[in-house]
Amino acid sequence: MAEPAIVQKSPYVLTLAPGTYWWCRCGRSDTQPFGDGSHQGGAFEPVTPELTEPTKLTLCGCKNTSNKPFCDGTHNELD
Protein backbone atom coordinates (compact mmCIF):
# COMPACT_ATOMS: atom_id res chain seq x y z
CA MET A 1 0.00 0.00 0.00
CA ALA A 2 1.30 3.46 -0.90
CA GLU A 3 2.22 5.86 1.89
CA PRO A 4 1.78 9.63 1.70
CA ALA A 5 4.80 11.89 2.01
CA ILE A 6 5.01 13.48 5.48
CA VAL A 7 5.06 17.22 4.87
CA GLN A 8 5.34 18.30 8.50
CA LYS A 9 4.78 16.75 11.91
CA SER A 10 2.32 19.40 13.02
CA PRO A 11 -1.05 20.60 11.77
CA TYR A 12 -1.88 23.61 9.63
CA VAL A 13 -4.15 25.90 11.64
CA LEU A 14 -6.02 28.15 9.23
CA THR A 15 -9.12 30.31 9.11
CA LEU A 16 -10.68 29.78 5.70
CA ALA A 17 -13.38 31.69 3.87
CA PRO A 18 -16.48 29.91 2.55
CA GLY A 19 -15.74 27.75 -0.47
CA THR A 20 -14.48 24.35 -1.56
CA TYR A 21 -10.88 23.38 -0.81
CA TRP A 22 -8.73 20.50 -2.01
CA TRP A 23 -6.64 19.16 0.88
CA CYS A 24 -3.55 17.36 -0.41
CA ARG A 25 -3.54 13.73 0.67
CA CYS A 26 -0.38 12.56 -1.09
CA GLY A 27 2.01 15.10 0.46
CA ARG A 28 3.60 16.03 -2.89
CA SER A 29 1.85 19.35 -3.56
CA ASP A 30 3.90 22.56 -3.60
CA THR A 31 0.89 24.46 -2.23
CA GLN A 32 0.50 22.66 1.12
CA PRO A 33 -1.81 21.92 2.76
CA PHE A 34 -3.81 22.20 -0.46
CA GLY A 35 -3.47 20.17 -3.62
CA ASP A 36 -1.91 21.32 -6.88
CA GLY A 37 -2.51 18.21 -9.01
CA SER A 38 0.72 16.46 -7.96
CA HIS A 39 -1.30 13.38 -6.97
CA GLN A 40 -2.19 12.56 -10.58
CA GLY A 41 -1.10 9.07 -11.52
CA GLY A 42 -0.65 8.13 -7.86
CA ALA A 43 -2.64 6.26 -5.24
CA PHE A 44 -4.14 9.32 -3.54
CA GLU A 45 -6.94 11.75 -4.35
CA PRO A 46 -7.47 15.06 -2.53
CA VAL A 47 -10.18 15.45 0.10
CA THR A 48 -12.57 18.33 -0.62
CA PRO A 49 -14.07 19.98 2.45
CA GLU A 50 -16.74 22.55 1.60
CA LEU A 51 -17.24 25.48 3.98
CA THR A 52 -20.41 27.55 4.15
CA GLU A 53 -19.01 30.16 6.55
CA PRO A 54 -15.58 31.37 7.69
CA THR A 55 -14.13 28.51 9.73
CA LYS A 56 -10.96 27.92 11.74
CA LEU A 57 -9.62 24.46 10.87
CA THR A 58 -6.76 22.28 12.02
CA LEU A 59 -5.68 20.42 8.87
CA CYS A 60 -3.36 17.43 9.02
CA GLY A 61 0.24 18.14 7.96
CA CYS A 62 1.59 14.58 8.28
CA LYS A 63 -1.06 13.18 5.89
CA ASN A 64 -1.60 10.14 8.15
CA THR A 65 -4.69 11.23 10.09
CA SER A 66 -7.63 8.84 10.31
CA ASN A 67 -9.99 11.85 10.26
CA LYS A 68 -9.06 13.30 6.84
CA PRO A 69 -8.47 16.22 6.35
CA PHE A 70 -8.43 17.13 10.05
CA CYS A 71 -5.54 16.59 12.44
CA ASP A 72 -6.11 13.80 14.97
CA GLY A 73 -2.66 13.89 16.60
CA THR A 74 -1.22 11.00 14.58
CA HIS A 75 1.91 13.13 13.93
CA ASN A 76 2.86 12.56 17.59
CA GLU A 77 3.26 8.85 16.88
CA LEU A 78 5.49 9.16 13.79
CA ASP A 79 9.25 8.58 13.76
The domain tally of the chain equals 1
Whether 10 maps to a domain, the answer reads: no
pLDDT above 90 for 1: no
Taking only the tens place, the pLDDT of each residue in 26-53 is 999 999 999 999 999 999 999 999 999 9
Provide the CB-side half-sphere exposure for 37 (13 A, CA): 0
Whether 2 maps to a domain, the answer reads: no
Whether 41 maps to a domain, the answer reads: yes
Whether 26 maps to a domain, the answer reads: yes
pTM: 0.92
Confidence of residue 74 (pLDDT cuts 50, 70, 90): very high
For 32, counting Cβ atoms within 10 Å of its Cβ (0-12 exposed, 13-18 middle, 19+ buried), the class is middle
Range of the domain at 74: 21-50+63-79
Whether 46 maps to a domain, the answer reads: yes
pLDDT above 90 for 79: no
Whether 70 maps to a domain, the answer reads: yes
Q: What is the CA radius of gyration of the chain?
A: 12
